[in-house]
Amino acid sequence: MPRRNNRPAPTQSVPGGAGHDRIESGPDGSDYQVRAVPGARAVKPYRCPGCDHEIAVGVAHIVAWPADTDGADDRRHWHSGWWRGRRTRRPTR
């Protein structure tokens, strides 16, 4: 009988399944959990909080939420470029 490797598969604690989640600091300096959404998964239009324009269906983008929450209620969908450039193009307050 072959010996089975009992190491558990990597799990994601975030709803929505596996992804490339990572922690980055957000526009306000606090930690955000970040996930890339491929175009094939972008099935609804979203409003990007960075530029206040719509992210069209089928456009790959970024979803981010405060790292100290599970993201169920507080996800934000960003244009990828806007999220990456958030430190240099600061939102006005």
Please choose, out of 17-25, 28-36, 39-47, 79-87, the segment that lies near Zn ion by the rule CB under 5 A.
79-87
Measured from each CB, the residue nearest to Zn ion is 48
How far apart CA 65 and CA 76 sit, in angstroms, is: 6
Classify residue 64 by burial, with Cβ atoms within 10 Å: 0-12, 13-18, 19+.
Answer: buried
Q: Enumerate residues 46-65 that contact Zn ion by CB under 5 A.
A: 48, 50-51
How far apart CA 27 and CA 18 sit, in angstroms, is: 25
Please choose, out of 16-24, 57-65, 72-80, 83-91, the segment that lies near Zn ion by the rule CB under 5 A.
72-80
Helix (H, G, I), strand (E, B) or coil at 47: strand
Please choose, out of 22-30, 35-43, 64-72, 81-89, the segment that lies near Zn ion by the rule CB under 5 A.
81-89
Binding site for Zn ion (CB under 5 A): 48, 50-51, 79, 82
